[in-house]
Every structure is written in structure tokens, then in C-alpha cells.
Amino acid sequence: MRIQQYELIRQLGAGGMGTVFLARDTKLGRRVAIKLLQTRNPAFTHRFILEARATARCSHENIVVIYEVGEFQGSPFMVLEFLQGQSLQKLVSGQRLPPSRVVELLAPVVRALECAHAEGIVHRDLKPDNILVTDAGTVKVLDFGIAKVLHGQDESPEKTRVAQVHTPEGAGVDLSNLTQSGALVGTVPYMSPEQWGNGVSVDLRTDIWALGILLFRMLAGRHPLEPLRGPQLAVTAFLDEPMPRLRDVAPDVPAALADVVDRCLLKRKEERFPDAASVLRALEPFLPGRYSREMRIDESESPYAGLSSFQESNAALFFGRSKEIGALMSRIRDRPLMAVVGPSGAGKSSFVRAGLVPFLKRSGDAWESLVLRPGRDPLGALASVVAPLMNSSDSLAQDLQEHQRLVARMREEPGVVGTVLRGRARRERKRLLLFIDQFEELYTQVADPRERQAFTACLSGIADDATTPMRVVLSIRSDFLDRVHEDERFMGELSQGLFFLTAPNQEGLRDALVQPAEMAGYRFESPEMISSMLEHLNSTEGALPLLQFAATQLWEQRDPARKLLTQQSYIEMGGIAGALATHADSVLDKMTPSARVLVRSLFLRLVTPERTRAIVSMEELQELSRDTVELQLLTDQLVQARLLVVQTGSGATGATVEIVHESLIHRWPTLHRWLEENQDDSAFLEQLRTAARQWHAKGRDSGLLWRGEMVEEAQRFQRRFRGELPQVQLDFLSAVGSQAARATRWKRALVVGSMVFLSVLVAASLVALLVIRESKKEAERQAMEARQAQEVAQQSLAVAEAREKAQLEAQRKEEEARRKEEEAKGQLAAAYNDLQRTNGELEGALRRAKYAQWRARVAMKSSDKNAAAARRNADAARRAEERAIRMAKDLEKRLLEEKERIRRMEDQLGKSGPVPSLELGLDNNT
């Protein structure tokens, strides 16, 4: 089915208002949602379209976008942006939420109301079903398209009527009353006193009442008038009976927040908040992070994590990820197995440890978290987590034996772990979260694929269904995601729960930088200082840990007297670049001498001759050392130290490695010294890398080996270079040297052979001289005979050439005659076509002349009806007849001339065949 340019795909839902379809926009190539209302009332359709178009003026990130409204087969429809997520009704499902989470979910709703109210639009049906939380964590308010538009006039109390008195929550809206004159739109549990027909007009404060009901239900877990239902809720209209106070129902809610909710639920609308902006200002102090900021931490402890991951214990200092946490919270309820996927340095471990886990524990449910890293013995690490939950023995030896038996049993029965954990969760009436941190260690440190598959089989047995109290979350670097497919079952389950974590945006980085300092009672000396740090990290991969590291260094140089992080300290430590260079030296100092040599080769490979960052594949870096395992471990160590960044390549390029930031090239003295020492060889090394790669790719073709001056340059390079080279480059240089050595030996052998050959040649010449003298006379005689034979041959050749030239000339003349004949035929055909065209033109002209003569005769006959007019018409007819006669004579003359011209041409080209005659069909009258 199609509605204009929209092709319906499937039905998404249906209710009292109408039906919602998923559709595709065939013009713009995007998916949309189409709400088709179930009415054919022309008055309602007209009003609905006007109101929806007015609502489309509300352009806000928290209001669903209306693309188009119109009418289809007498029913109105609305085209909306297609959003994937779940409603607030399904997300909350009657449970209590922590205050910070409630405010985080409803603050975007208040911002949407603020935008709509500024356009004079009241929603009037605000409820959990009309609020959608997308998979990305964005909150969207729906159904503004059916709101009543206020044109600066209040609704007349006399016209007020009640809608949906008997409609349960979520059942929709009665279309018989919708937007008709004086009708009210609403859902019973969320209707304000003025919507119940108490003689008070409806305005924007009606939405503030519904917002208060939402806040109350999410904070207390029930409706304020519980257990009243349906028509019983009409007590809302009794202005003298106040609503229950939130602090009486939920005393653990902060008093200031409870006061905000109670003010929203004052029955006299004049006593409520005047607008949505006032509600937003009242709620902002309770947003995640801002509410925590009222907590103070001891300034003897750094509020920043540095290069380490955040832990659950310092969750109050974790900022900038609230939107992503909300998105993962909404998905983890339906997915038993989730993977947080992102590049190195995106903060995956901190996101789960200090973000997701504390949020789950504050969500109202009892949660317990278990954390492990696979390491070299993933089954052993999992057994160490599970064993304490089972019956423990009295001695350490028995514990070790039990641990080994458990590992062996897990290999044979991978479902045993899930059985133990689910039993623990049911006994304790808790929900368990198992977090596998740095899941890529399963592939970097475990060589046996059977060991890896045994571990993933255990995880599949733990997270096997969404109805269980178990959830498994793992963090994995994006460049290792393609390794998971070796266990097809595990990959199939994990692919449905991928959560991609990107780097924080500018606002998130700013919160992560500023708010921890404020919690410790400190502030940055100037806004420019903050902007400089954020700008420096704008194009940096792994920006979050670098920011935390620089902030830690800045914190150590703080000014306690003024409670400032000063600009001078930032300058002295060299900014983020200087702090990073100092950190790089500290990492290098902890390495062995052999590892430093390899690090030098690694960093030199990652810098171009133009002193910029080079992006090099992991496969190419493995050429730097014969021990690929050592190189892999060293690379991982530098990645963990935030000096290198590993990124997933595109296509078949695999993982790539690069230096974390350009400033290391210019501001790290050690690397600068390495580059200066290697300056003379940098250009040659680039040529060597390219040549060796091509040579190896072509099956080590000897034709691609260097020759000439490049061989001498390679020999000079080998004498002066003291660093390590990849094995392919060493093999290439060795092959070049071997080929040059073979060429030298061949030249020497050729010289000696030439000398021996010359000696033999001199001796043979003396012997042959006598023979030559005897043969000279014979040669002279034979030469004379040859000259005579040559003269005879030359004479024969001249005769043959003359004969051939005559034949060629005859052929040329014959071709010329044939060409002229073809041209004559072509000219005759063209002339014939011209005559036919002229004949047609003459016939047309004669027909027009006949028609003109006929019109003249008709004009002469009609002149008898009116004498004065007849004379004028007769003169005009005569003149027209004379012109026609002259034209006919001219045409006849031209025809005779054309016939004469044709006759002459026939005489000239008589041999080319007869020319068809032209019959014009002229009569005497013509």
C-alpha cells in the first residue's frame, strides 16, 4: 500500500487514535513512521492538519519531528521520524527509580514542553506512553501533533467537556470528542483538575500537572491517588482536597525534590510553577553529576583517575556518560548478553565499572556485580569468581583442589557456571551482573582455540535468556570484534547485544574535567585554560584517559590557598603534550634495554619522513622483530600506557597502529633525538620499506632488486646503520648484496676469459695469415664475378620496378574514375531529392492558392447581402484573386524552369540511368 510517496512496510501499533505504520520515503530514501487516524470527519481532518502543521514549528531535539501531514482517502495522516526504542511506560514498568535517574529521564521532557509552550502549544496528553527512550538514549516526546494550539485565547469554561472518563491508561483518545470545539484531550490518570470540568480553562500549566504525576509515579512507584481507578479519579477536580505529599509516601526522596513534585501537583493552577522553564531550573540541581556535586571529597585524594580505569568506588567522580548509561540501561533489561565495543582509550572499562554498575544498584532492584579479566587462564579466572559462591572448604589445599576440579568440570559441562550463578541469584533474591573486562585478552593471551571456545561456551550458558536474573556484559576493543566468530553460537548471541561506545563529545569531556575539581572545592583559573585543553584533545584518539592524566598532573601542582588549578602550572608542565612526554619517558625507563631498542624501531616506523604520524598495519609492524609474540606484548603494553592507539582497519587491512598524539613527535625529547639520529636514513628507509614490500609481494622477483647506484647506497647504509630492521627488509638487502656479489664475480670471470681468448686469437691469427694470403686471390676473383652478377641483378630489378610502377599507376587511375562515378551518382541523387522537396513545396503553394481563390469567390457571393460591404469585399476579393493568379503564374514559371533544369541534368548524366519524371497535375484553371 502506498500513501503518496510513502510505501508502507508493516504495522507498528494500533490504538484508539489510529494505526501507526513503518514506511519508506521513496523520494528521500529513509524510513518514516506514518500515523493514520481512524476518522472521516471533514471538520476534524481540517482542524487536525492545521494543528499538526503548527506543531511542526517546534523544532527541538526532544520532540519527534513531523515531516508532513495530509489527507488520504478522507482520513488524516501524519508522517513522523522513525525512532527505535521503548516507551517510558515499558522502561519504568511500575518500579521506583533513583532520583537522579528520574530527573535525567524527565529533564528532556521538560525542555520539550518549554519549546512547545513558547509556540503556544499545550500537549494535554502527557503520559509514559507518549515518551520514548531511543536505543541511543535520547528522550523524545510524541503526539504533539494532536495537541490544541492556543492562539492567545483561553478556552471558555462553558464549553469544557470531559474526555475519556472510562478510558484506562494507555488506551488512547476517544476520537468522537478529539479536538472538537470545547473538547479536551487527556488520559484519566494524568488529567489535571481543570481537565475534569471544574470551570477552569486549560493552559500550559495542565502539562506541568501531568509532569508532576510522572515524577511522583517514578519516584514513589505508584500513582498519588492509589488505589483509585477510572471514574474514581474524578476527585482530582475537587480543589479543596489537596493531593498526597511525596515525602509522606517516599521519605527517602530528597526534600527539595519532593517540594518540586508537590508544587507541580497543586490543584489550583495559579499556585503551580508558571511555566516549564521554572520546573527545569528547579530540577537541574538533581541531574546526575550536579546532584553528586553537593558531595565533597577529601582534597588529599586526586579527583581524577589518571591513566587508570574508574572503579565502582569512585563512581561519584565519573562524568560525561549519562546519556550512554541510560541507553545501555534500557537495552540490558531485554538482552542477557551485551558487549561494550569501542576503540582503545574510549573508556569502556570505566563506563561499566563506574557508570553502569552503580546505576544498576541505584535503580531500585538488588544487583550484585562480579568482575573478571580473562588473562592467560580464562577458565581459571571464571572459576575464581564462581568458587566462593559454592560451598568452600576449610583448608587452602582443598580450595585449590576444588578450583581445579571446577575448571575441569567447566570444560566438560559449560552450563554448570550458569546453574551456580542463577541459584545464587534466586537464593539471595538478587540480580547478578558478570562483567568480563578487556575481553580481547582471550585472543591476545590464549593461544589454544579450544580453551577460548570452552570459555565462551560457559558465557553462553550463563546468559541464555532475558527472563533469568543473570546479565553478562563484556568490554572488547573494536579491532578484535571479528575474532569472536570462531564460536558461531556465541557470536550469534553476542551480535544482538552490541553497544558501540564512542569517544565523549566536547560537553562530556568538559564535565569530566571540571566537575571532579568542583567536588573537591577547586576550580580552573580561567575558561581559556579549559578550552585549550579540550581543543588540544579535539583530534586525539583516546582523549578521555589523556585528559584524566593531564588533569592528574595539574592537580598535583594545584594552589591550595586559592583553591585553583592555575594557568601557570599548566604552562610549566608543558600542557597536555608536556605531561604526555614526561609519562612516555617514565614508561620507557621501566623497560629492559632490549625492549627499548624495539620501542625505538617501533616509534621510528610510526613517524613519516615529514615528521607526521604514520598509520601502520599490525601485520607490517610484526616485521620489526622475529619474535612476534614479544612485539605483540610490547605493543599492548604501549597501548595500555596510552602512547599508542590501535584502530580497526577498513576492508581487509586489519588493525592499524599509530602514535596517540602528534605532540609526541615534536614535544617528546627522546623521540626527537631518535628522529635526529635517524634523519639521514629516514628517506632511505622509506625507499627500502617500499622496495622490500613490493619485492616480497611479487614472490621475491629478482627483477625488482636494486642495481647500480642504489646498491652502493645500500652498502653504505648497512655499514653505518646500527638499528634493527624487519626480516623482509634484511632479506631484501641480503638479496641485493648477493646479486651485486654475483655480478662482480661474473665481471671478473669475464675479464680473465677475455684475456685468454685474446691470446688464443693472436696465435690463431698468425696461422691464419698464410691461409688468408692464399685465399686473397681466390677472393678477388670471386668478388669480380659477384660484381658482374650484381650489375645484372640491378638491371633486372630496375625493369621489375618500372613494371610495378606502371601497374600501380593504372590502379590509381581506375580508383579515381570509380570515385568520380560515385560522386556523380551522389550528386544526381541529391538533386533528385531537392526536386522532390521542391515539388512538395510547389504543390502546397498551389493548394494554398486554390484555397485563397475559393475564399475570394465566397467573399464575392456574400457581398450581395449588403451593398456597401459588398463593394469593399468585392474589391478585396479581386485583389486577392489577382494575387492568387500572379502567384500561380509565378509558380508555373518556376515549374517550367525546374523541368528545364532537370532535362539538362539528364543530358549530362544520361549514362547514370533514367530519372523519374515529375507529375504535378496542373490543370488550366491552375
Give the catalytic positions in this structure: 125
Residue 273 φ then ψ, to 5°: -60, 140
Determine the straight-line distance between the first and last CA of the chain, rounded to whole angstroms: 68
Residue 661 φ then ψ, to 5°: -155, 145
Cα distance between residue 411 and residue 414, in whole Å: 6
Cα distance between residue 923 and residue 673, in whole Å: 111
Cα distance between residue 562 and residue 559, in whole Å: 6
Q: Are 217 and 253 in contact (CB under 8 A)?
A: no
Residue written as cell 576492508? 651
Residue type, 366: A
Cα distance between residue 216 and residue 220, in whole Å: 6
* The three cell numbers locating residue 128: 509514559
Cα distance between residue 906 and residue 300, in whole Å: 120
Q: Return the sign of the alpha-carbon dihedral for residues 625, 627, 629, 633.
A: negative
User: Does the annotation list 90 as a binding residue?
Assistant: no
Residue type, 314: N
CA dihedral 422→425→427→428, nearest 10 degrees, is 170
**Nearest in space to 594 (alpha carbons), one of 750, 724, 482, 721:** 724
* The three cell numbers locating residue 129: 506512553
Cα distance between residue 871 and residue 874, in whole Å: 5
**Nearest in space to 642 (alpha carbons), one of 581, 693, 719:** 581
Q: Are 305 and 555 in contact (CB under 8 A)?
A: no
Cα distance between residue 617 and residue 635, in whole Å: 12
Q: Are 543 and 537 in contact (CB under 8 A)?
A: yes
Q: Are 912 and 824 in contact (CB under 8 A)?
A: yes
Strand partners, 121: 149
Strand order of the β-sheet with 139-141 is 85-87, 131-134, 139-141
Residues recorded for the chain: 926
Q: Return the sign of the alpha-carbon dihedral for residues 503, 509, 515, 517.
A: positive
SS3 content of the chain, % helix, strand, coil (to 5): 60, 10, 30
* The three cell numbers locating residue 820: 568520380
Cα distance between residue 302 and residue 283, in whole Å: 29
Residue 535 φ then ψ, to 5°: -65, -40
Cα distance between residue 258 and residue 155, in whole Å: 31
Query: Which H helix or E strand runs over 79?
Result: strand 75-81
Cα distance between residue 689 and residue 684, in whole Å: 9
**Nearest in space to 279 (alpha carbons), one of 217, 209, 222, 223:** 209
Q: Are 664 and 673 in contact (CB under 8 A)?
A: no
Write the DSSP assignment of 106-150 as a string of letters.
Answer: HHHHHHHHHHHHHTTEE-----GGGEEEETTS-EEE--GGGSEEP
Cα distance between residue 875 and residue 863, in whole Å: 10
**Nearest in space to 185 (alpha carbons), one of 236, 125, 142:** 125
Cβ-based burial of 513 (10 A; exposed 0-12, middle 13-18, buried ≥19)? buried
Cβ-based burial of 762 (10 A; exposed 0-12, middle 13-18, buried ≥19)? exposed
Nearest 5°: the CA angle 466, 481, 494 is 10
Each as own residue / partner, the long-range contacts of residues 672-679 (CB below 8 Å, 24 or more positions apart, any chain) are 674/600, 674/603, 674/604, 675/604, 675/607, 675/611, 678/604, 678/723
Query: Which amino acids are annotated as binding site, given as ranges?
Result: 35
Binding residues for ATP: 35
